[in-house]
Amino acid sequence: MGRETRGGALGAGPTSARKLRPRSQHVCVRGARLGFIIGEQIKAREVNPPAHPPAPTGVRQPNTTTSKSARPLAVSFLTSVLGACAGNGQGLDANGDPVNGVSTHPHALAADFKSIQDNVFTPVCVRCHSGASAPQGLQLDEAHSYALLVGVPSAEQPALNRVTAGDPNSSYIIRKLQGGPGISGEQMPLGGPYLSQGTLNVIKQWISDGAQSAASAGGQTTGAFAVSAISPPDGAHVRVGARPIVVAFNHEPDFSRISEASVRLERVTPEGIREVPGGVMLTLAGGNPATVLLTPRLALASGVYRLSVPAAGADSLADVNAQPLARSHTSEFTVDDAP
C-alpha cells in the first residue's frame, strides 16, 4: 500500500518513551505530542459505505462477533440508559458516600486508584459505563477504566482530558461529577444521587498526587505483553469520528517501535482494506505511557474501521523491556455518521 514507517526515528530523539515515564508526582505530564503521519496522504476516493440494516437491540458485550451488524445510535443510547441503568443511586448512601460492599472496613475510600475503582466506579458507574454501548466510549469497569481515563481526551470536550495527572481542575471527570454550567451533557452519575464532597475530594486528591495506577502503586504488571483495553470497543457504533481512539497495553510499549504499521487504524471498504484519509497521529497518553492514542487528522467518515496490532513481523511491538507482543489484536468499530 505504499506505506512508509516514519515513526521509527522517534525513539532516537529526545522524546523517546523512556523519558515520558511520569515518575514525579505533582507534575502535570501532558500528552507528549509525538504525532506523526501514518502512511502517505492518499488520494481521497469516494467509497460507498456498507449498508447498515437495523439490527436487534440489546446490550452487546465487547468481543462478540457481531461487529458488522448495526443499529441506530438512538436505540443504542436508550438501551444503555433504560436497560443497563435501571434504578438510581446504586452504590451510594443517602449522603452520596459509597456504600461499602467491597471492603470490610467501613471507610475504605482512599486516594488510590484501586480504592476509587472498588468503591466508586465499580458499584456506581459500571451499570451504565460498560460494554460496547458505554456512553462516550467510556468503560469504567476495572479492566478498562484507568486506560480510558488518564491522559485520554474527553469525547464531550476534547480540549480536556478525562483525567489530567496532577491537575484535578482540568480533569473533565471532576467537572462532570461536580456539575455546573461548564459541562456538556448532565452531571454524573446520570440522574443522581451525586457523589458527596468528601468522595469528590478523595478523587481529586488521587489526581493531584499524580493519578497513579494500581500497578504503579505496587500492583502487578507481570504476564505476557498484550493489548489490555481498546476504545471504541469491538463491535461498537460511534456517531462522530472525533472521539479518542485508544489502544492500551498491560506494559509500557517501546514508543520507538510504534508506527502506522505496528498500531494500525484502517478503513474496511467493499473493495478491501484502505488507509485512513489524512493519516493518524500517534501519541502516548499523558501520565499514562501504557496507553496509545490515535487521533485521525481528518474526522472519520462513516463506515467500518479496523484496529489491529500485529504480534508477528518486523513491525510488531515490544515493551520497554524488549518483550515482544504475545498475541495480535484485531477489532472493528463503525462510524454511523460524519460530524
List residues near ligand HEC by CB under 6 A. 81, 85, 120, 124-125, 127-129, 135-136, 138, 154-156, 162, 172-173, 176-177, 185-186, 188-191
CB of 328 to ligand HEC, least distance (A): 28
CB of 23 to ligand HEC, least distance (A): 26
Q: Which is nearer to ligand HEC, 135 or 235 (CB)?
A: 135
Residue nearest to ligand HEC (CB): 185
CB of 254 to ligand HEC, least distance (A): 28
CB of 229 to ligand HEC, least distance (A): 15
Q: Which is nearer to ligand HEC, 156 or 209 (CB)?
A: 156
Q: Which is nearer to ligand HEC, 8 or 193 (CB)?
A: 193
φ, ψ for residue 277, nearest 5 deg:
-55, 130
CB of 91 to ligand HEC, least distance (A): 8
Q: In 3-state terms, what secondary structure has residue 294?
A: strand
Q: Which is nearer to ligand HEC, 92 or 276 (CB)?
A: 92
Helix (H) or strand (E) holding 207: helix 197-208
Residue with cell 513491525: 315
CB of 112 to ligand HEC, least distance (A): 16
- In single-letter form, the type of residue at position 117 comes to Q
Contact 264, 306 (CB under 8 A): yes
Residue with cell 484485531: 330
Q: Which is nearer to ligand HEC, 258 or 293 (CB)?
A: 293
Question: How many C-beta atoms lie closer than 10 Å to residue 261's C-beta?
Answer: 20
Beta-bridge partners for 124:
none
Helix (H) or strand (E) holding 202: helix 197-208
Cell of 215: 500497578
Which residue, among 297, 294, 308, has the nearest Cα to 246 in the 3D structure? 294
Beta-bridge partners for 153:
161
Question: How many C-beta atoms lie closer than 10 Å to residue 88's C-beta?
Answer: 11
Q: How far is CA 278 from CA 1, 11, 230, 246, 298, in A?
A: 15, 23, 22, 18, 6
Beta-bridge partners for 333:
305
CB of 190 to ligand HEC, least distance (A): 4
Q: Which is nearer to ligand HEC, 188 or 276 (CB)?
A: 188
Q: Which is nearer to ligand HEC, 8 or 191 (CB)?
A: 191
